[in-house]
Chains A and B, each alone.
Chain A
């Protein structure tokens, strides 16, 4: 089998068995990226020198007797994780010249575990988007159909892993940006509980919603990465002091007695009938493994998108105010005065969608509108959280489609931002409530991947990975690769 076809778990075992070295593996993947990425545009920066240095170090660590599961594992990071000495662009002209002076905690932890960074991955600008069409560096193409979007905002992460350029990648999820691209590219991706993974060095979009997580080909791979990424960090004041679970041990628990809830609001009008059928087929498989199913209701679901598109832009307008052309990033030419410096640097440095969201956010927070918009959205957020807390009294996991439609054509939803916002309908609630969510491959519609979403109570990432892993032991959707890659 070619090295690029191996999952992260298989690579881990092969490196331990000395079937090949980390240097050989990284070298092979770097050549593959060079040959195939032009079709996808999934990488913004390829870090060949850094990668070969880290691979050599990993090989030396292994020769000296170290045995960690990720020692020598090749990955890439979404380009909003600060990587010291390497451009960190957030997919934006605003940070095209930004060489991060430090590593994000997620990067530090994965480096310490011995991972090899092959590059920085393309994304919707400042993580705002669901199609990876808003990047300053151009759109990413879905390897399953190059005329279609891979999803967003972690579109580069998804495309690169789906095309087997890398076995796994980091991503972030604020309204679905790990789960939705995973669903559109036949991958497994997990958004942990808010506060489970440190946000230090993770360039902020919406501080109360952002969370980092892995994208990979299966649940085992996600567990391997999440184990290294997660944990308390005193540098992130929103990080939880919750002790870390053993995600790998959790994978093998039997599903007998698992109570699954199907929220009726997630199967309403607007959902492609074939996706609904694919989702219910997953339920049947889980029943064979011993799970029971019941219908539940999450009555405030319909208000989630409105609440999100107030809260996220509001927080973004605050977070992105640091991009002012003064201390780092893009500065306009010949500023006439301070106001001109700010206004032109920001007008020229930010793309349209980012500017739209900053303006919406500034409006929602402005005097006279704060109560009607931001405060109202925060109250709706409480209602959405209450819906989940109530539902989880009767069920262990909630199951739904990840997206209402499979991957759409590039350019199809470009003209109307609201059309794109509506694609987030099933994923957004987990970010608002802060609960963990996972998407896993469940089948195909018109040759395009379909994902199913699992949601669990706070800090039950292990449960999600367990259900996905058990499903993946008896099905093969997740093993399929796009033709030509």
Chain B
């Protein structure tokens, strides 16, 4: 299943990674190379096989719904690119 330029652009958008015009041919070729390796999987007969998502097959542990954490906002915001009044700043989103 070979990727075309438009596929690569779509995937890059999904991943929110900017690709320049110059990047696209090389990225397309490399991705197709990797997909060539991965496509070997299609030959394996996995009918009736349950997927394995977690090696130990444990289920999510639950705990009591009580407050156990303290607020670390100041420490965590100290390393942010831009903050104001306890909020993270980003370019305007809503027109």
- Say whether A and B bind each other: yes
Give chain A's interface residues, CB within 8 Å of chain B. 97-99, 101-102, 193-195, 208, 234, 237-238, 240, 300, 303, 305-307, 309-310, 317, 321, 324-328, 331, 335-344, 346-347, 350, 355-356, 358-360, 362-364, 366, 372-373, 375-383, 385, 416-418, 421, 432-435, 458
Bound complex: CA A101 to CA B80 (Å): 11
Instruction: Judge whether B53 and A378 touch: CB under 8 Å.
Output: yes
CB pair B52–A382 under 8 Å, yes or no, is yes
**Nearest CB of chain B from residue A40's CB, rounded to whole Å:** 29
Distance from A235 Cβ to chain B, minimum over Cβ atoms (Å): 10
- When distances are taken between beta carbons in the complex, the residues of chain B under 8 Å from A372 are 42
Residues of B contacting A364 in the complex (Cβ-Cβ under 8 angstroms)? 38
- Chain A residues closer than 8 Å to B82, beta-carbon distance: 331
Q: Which are the 6 A-B pairs with shortest beta-carbon distances?
A: A434-B55, A378-B51, A343-B18, A347-B18, A379-B46, A382-B52
Interface CB pairs A-B, < 8 A, 26: A102-B75, A195-B55, A306-B37, A309-B38, A317-B15, A326-B90, A328-B80, A335-B90, A335-B91, A338-B93, A340-B18, A346-B16, A355-B27, A356-B31, A359-B8, A359-B15, A362-B15, A373-B38, A376-B41, A379-B51, A380-B46, A381-B51, A383-B49, A417-B33, A417-B34, A458-B56
- A194 lies within 8 A of B55 (CB): yes
Cα(A417)–Cα(B34), bound, Å: 8
Residues of A within 8 A of B50 (CB): 379, 382
Checking A193, A238, A343, A359 against B27 with a beta-carbon cut-off of 8 angstroms, the contacting residue is: A359
Q: How far is the CA of A144 from the CA of B13 in the complex (A)?
A: 43
B44 interfacial by beta-carbon distance below 8 Å: yes
- Expressed in whole angstroms, the Cα–Cα distance for A101 and B58 within the complex equals 30
Given A194-B55, A208-B54, A421-B37, the answer on whether A383 and B81 have CB atoms closer than 8 Å is no
Given contacts A331-B81, A373-B38, A377-B41, contact A358 B56 (CB under 8 A): no
Q: Which B-chain residue is minimally distant from A459 (CB atoms)?
A: B56
Task: Say yes or no: A347 contacts B42, CB within 8 Å.
Answer: no
B2 in the interface, Cβ–Cβ < 8 Å?
Answer: no
Nearest-Cβ distance from residue A316 to partner chain B, whole angstroms: 10
Taking a contact as CB atoms under 8 Å apart, the answer to whether A418 and B33 are in contact is yes
**In the complex, A335 Cα to B92 Cα: how many Å?**
10
A324-B16 contact in complex given A101-B79, A337-B91, A337-B92, C-beta closer than 8 Å: yes
Q: What is the CB-to-nearest-CB distance from B53 to chain A, in angstroms, rounded to a whole number? A: 6
A208 and B51 form a contact (CB under 8 A): no
**B11 A359 Cβ-Cβ under 8 A:** yes
Tell me if A359 and B40 are in contact (CB < 8 A).
no
A residues less than 8 Å from B40 (CB atoms)? 303, 306
Residues of A within 8 A of B30 (CB): 356, 417
- What's the Cα separation between A380 and B40 when bound, in Å? 12
Cα distance A341–B92 in the bound complex, in angstroms: 11
Across the interface, do B42 and A340 meet the contact criterion of CB distance under 8 Å?
no
Chain A residues near B11 (CB, 8 Å)? Answer: 359, 362-363, 366
Task: Give Cα A331 to B35, complex, Å.
Answer: 31
Q: Is the CB of A350 within 8 A of B17?
A: yes
Q: Is B6 an interface residue (CB 8 A)?
A: no
Question: Which residues of A are found within 8 Å of B61, using beta-carbon distances?
Answer: 234, 237
Which residue of B38, B49, B81 is within 8 Å of A379 (Cβ)? B49
CB neighbours of B15 from chain A (8 A): 317, 321, 346, 358-359, 362
Beta-carbon contact of B90 and A338 below 8 Å:
yes
- Which residues of chain A have C-beta atoms less than 8 A from B90's C-beta? 326, 335, 338, 341
Instruction: Looking at the assembled complex, report how far the CB atom of A265 sits from the nearest CB atom of chain B, in whole angstroms.
Output: 14
A328, B81: Cα distance in complex, Å = 6
Name the residue on A nearest B40 (C-beta): A306
**In the complex, what residue of chain B is closest to A303 when comparing beta carbons?**
B44
Q: Distance (Å) between the CB of A144 and the closest chain B CB? A: 30
Which residue on chain A has the smallest CB distance to residue B60?
A237
Smallest distance from the beta carbon of B47 to chain A beta carbons, Å? 9
Rounded to whole Å, the gap between the CB of B44 and the closest CB of chain A is 5
With A208-B54, A336-B91, A382-B51 as given contacts, are A101 and B46 in contact (CB-CB < 8 Å)? no
A101 and B88 contacting across the interface, CB-CB below 8 Å: no
A327-B41 in contact (CB<8A): no
- Contacting residues, chain B, for A356 (C-beta < 8 A): 27, 30-31, 34
Q: What's the Cα separation between A421 and B34 when bound, in Å?
A: 9
For A193, the chain B residues whose CB sits under 8 A away are 56
B25 to chain A, nearest CB (A): 14
Bound-state Cα–Cα, A238 to B38, Å: 27
**Measured between C-beta atoms, what is the minimum distance from A6 to chain B in Å?**
36
